[in-house]
Structure formats: C-alpha cells, structure tokens
Amino acid sequence: MKRTWWKEAVVYQVYWRSFFDSNGDGYGDLEGLIQKLDYIHDLGVDVIWLNPCYESPDKDNGYDISDYYRIMDKAGDMETFDRLLHEVHQRGMKLIMDLVVNHTSDQHPWFIESRSSKDNPKRDWYIWRDKPNNWRSYFTPSAWEYDEKTGQYYFHSFAVEQPDLNWENKEVREEIYKMMRFWLDKGIDGFRLDAIALLAKPDGFPDAENPYDIRYLTNNPGVHEYLQEMHDKVLKHYDIFTVGEVAFVSPEEGLKYVGEDRNELHTLFHFEVCDEMPTWDPIRFKQIQKRWYEGLWGKGWNSQFLNNHDHTRQVTRYGNDKQFRVESAKLLATLVHTLPGTPYIYQGEEIGMTGVKFDSIDDYNDIAMKNKYAEEVAKGRDPKEVLESLQLLSRDNSRTPMQWDDSEHAGFTTGTPWLKVNPNYKEINVKQALADPNSVYYYYKKLIQLRKQNPVMVYGTFCDLSENEPYIYAYTRELDGVRWLIVLNHCDSDNVYTLPEELSSASHHLLLGNYTDVKEEGTTLHMRPHEARIYALQ
C-alpha cells in the first residue's frame, strides 16, 4: 500500500466561530485560533481543518458564501488569515480549508446578476425552471424558490438563501478552479469539499416517487467527470490533502470518489453512521466498518469520525455522557483512532464536551432545526414535543462554544456568546483537563503518539473478532509481523471477553487502556463499563 503523509495524519476540526473570541464580539475568530494554536499543536495533531471563513451573510454559518476571495468580518481579514497560515506552518502543522462549491449565497454577485434578468450572461450559472418538481431540500419542504422579478424558480439543495451553481456550465467550473488555485497558491494544504456529491443533477429533474427520501440530490451521473476535471486542472498540481463530504454513498460508490487509480479525491466522509444511525447500534456499526474496510482497503482511503459541526457530540450520542463520561469519551477515541482510516477530532471532543438541551427553540441557532420545528408546529404538533424530538440531533449540540475554563462564558469570550455556552462548563473545560493527568485530553495525546510511532495503526490490516457480540468490540490490526488487539466494552456494565483460539497462545502486552489499574490477564479479559484496551500480541 502506498504510504503518504495524509494517511498518517490526525486532523483537528476548528469550528472557528465557537473556538475562541479574541475581541469580545461574541464570535470566535481567526485571531483567537492563532492564540490557541499551541494548545492544538501540543495535542499532537498534524492537520487543522478550518470551517468556512469566507465573506458571507451567515445564514448558514458561513456555508453561504458571497465572496470566495474575502474573509468575513466576524472571522477577521486576509492579513489575519495569512498570519494564521504562517503560524500553523511554523509549528509543523498543515491547514485545509472548507470549500463550498455546490452553491453560493444569494448575495453573491454571480447570483445577483443571474436573477437580474433571463438574458443576463450569468443566468445559466444557476439552475432556473418555469415549474418546480416535488423535491425537498435538506433544510426546506421544497428545493425551489420562486423569483418574482423573472417569474421562474431557482434550485437550492439547502436553504432558500443558498442557490445551487450550475456545474454543467463550463464558465462556472473554470471560475471555481481559478478560485481554488488562488487559495492553494497562498500555501494552504488542501480542501474539505462540502456537499461534493451534489454537483451533478439528474437530467430533466423528474418528480421523485418519495420526495422525503432525498437521495436523488446526490451521486448523480456526471459528478465523477467533474471531479476528475477538477483534479486534472487543479488538484494534481499541488501536494495537498482532499476529503469530500459524500452523503448516501455505499463503499462501491465511495471507491469511485477515492480510488487511487481514479484521480478524484484522497478520502471521503461517508455518513452511514452519523446520518443513518441516530443512537448506538453495535451490530450495525460493526457491519458498516467491515463493509467499508473490504470495499476500500488497498484501493482507496477512509475517514473515521463520530461527530463534527453537523452532528451531536459523540459522547452524548454514542456514549454515556453522565455516569461514565470520561471512560466513554476515551473508549470512543480509541475506536476512532484504531479503526482503518484517517481519524478526525472535533474541537472539544478531546476534553469530553457534551451535547446540550436548551429549554426553548429561541436558544437554538441551527437553521435546519428551526425550519423543521416551524414546519412541524404548523402541522399542529405540540411545540414541546417537537422541540424534544429535535434536540438530540440538533447541530447546535456540537456548536456551543469551546469550554476553556470555569470563568464566565467558559473563557470563550468577554462579550455575549453568539450561542449559549453549555451549562456544564464549570466541570468540563480545558483548564481542568490540563491539570488532570488522567483526563480525556491526555488520553488523546497518548493515542496520537501511539499512531505516530506505530505504522500498524495506520497501515495494518483489520479483522473483526466480535461481529455478533452486542457489547464487546474486538479486532486486530496487523502489519509486517506486528499484531495489535483492540478490545472495547461499549456498555454500562461489566462484561467478559475470551480471546479466540487463534490468539489464545499469544502473549499480550497492554499498550494503552482507559482505566488506570488494568492488570495483565490470561485469555479471559474482565472488562469494566466503557473500558478500552490496546494490546500488542506476541
């Protein structure tokens, strides 16, 4: 298998508006990130993924871009960005930027021109039709919005304020490639490509048999030709890392995006776990991991993550954030960092931050949640019930401000935070984590160091030893005669795991565990609640 720097990397995602506010306006900013770079560097990560900081009206927290060549005022300015890039590189880390090219803001000059008249030269830069079909968007009941001035509907896969670009138009593609070169020539180290599976649209936009199953928005014919052209004209000319956000994709389809012989992207985020497994389902999770390993191994590269800015914090959603928060957070970290693929850390995950349950819809910012709430209440449903049904998967669970210390607003800002801070910040914060040698933070450091020192964690083959076990997840990684065993008790109670016969004669040496008092055992391992162990086998 070809070895590359990006396969060996650990990525830390910075949702900058919630990371650290340097000027007291209530929003995190790039200067705040610069001030906290040593914290990220000390964790041991290699790559920072920065969420969109381009000029934007901020209807969808920066994913509605109105100028690809400017930094939004909330984040800072281009001088600050250039300094950030320099400081990241000075510390031996790399920086990749979120890139949104499926759609723009409706305030982008391109769209302002496009909607000005039917015969404007940029009319065809977006998708206009006389009549809408029955498709829904991710955020609204219809993917079409009527424009009174020209009497046509424009298409939007997300919010009304986010019209989709027409990728069939060569001028659009060339303008996007020009913009990508601008950032790469600045020296950034790659892109996370947002909603990249949506670029190609079905011919004729036929009505969907079930409009609520929005798979029709993704993976349509033509998307791979666009990505191959992007690779040929831009990506292959730089030593960079690319990861695509690819929804509703199977391993077979996913390989088309990341196959090493395909010349498209390096790796992808699939969402069989985060989008399609609302709560922990151990058997299904194991099946997903096995299918993706068998589909990609030796041919393409996967990503490992259980939360990000769009998905509830992993310890709340897939662990136990109350009775066993610390143990559970460490177990989930072990899972992500020892399964095949590139591990991602979402800011705050490394101190075990949890999700939230605000009392009122007014305390939430998530546009998808607020639109769904309004839609359901309009149908006559009880507002309290609707709120409770939406809380677990609200995107604001992961967007509450970073908890730096136990001072007001968790040390995130001296002003009023743009989103309420999680009330548990006095117990869960960076200051506390750095003072406790057994904290979640230091466990992450040890995991990352293990990965740097042991290629088996990166390039080792994978074998699941516990496919039908409801609580124990046990698997091996093996490379060049080195074999590791990972055993996880993903459960609130004790469990016993007996090594399979093929491993019973091997001696096992504990490399890392999330309990401090693990004793060497024979072939029967007594696992405590949410216990995780990594063994070297000999």
Phi-psi map region of 375: left, alpha, beta (phi>0 left; psi -120 to 50 alpha): alpha
Residue with tokens 């960079």: 240
Backbone φ, ψ for residue 278 (5° rounding): -60, -35
Q: Is position 408 annotated as part of the catalytic site?
A: no
Distance CA 451, CA 293 (A): 19
Q: Give the tokens for residue 65.
A: 């871009």
- CB neighbours (10 Å) of residue 488? 25
The catalytic position among 21, 194, 321, 531 is: 194
Q: 357-378 as b/e, with b when 16 or more CB fall inside 10 Å?
A: ebeebeebbbbbbbbbbeebee
State in Å, rounded, how far the first CA of the chain is from the last one.
24
- Residues 150 and 115: beta-carbon distance below 8 Å: yes
Q: Give the tokens for residue 295.
A: 């589909």
Q: 94-121 as b/e, with b when 16 or more CB fall inside 10 Å?
A: bbbbbbbbbbbbbbbebbeebbeeeeee
Q: Which residues is 303 bridged to in the sheet?
A: 342
Distance CA 478, CA 463 (A): 9
Q: Is position 194 annotated as part of the catalytic site?
A: yes
The CA–CA distances, whole Å, from 473 to 4, 43, 282, 341, 419 equal 29, 26, 8, 17, 37
The catalytic position among 245, 310, 327, 396 is: 245
> Side chain identity at 213, as an amino acid letter?
D
Distance CA 496, CA 484 (A): 19
Residue with tokens 């985060």: 274
- Which residues are known to be catalytic? 194, 245
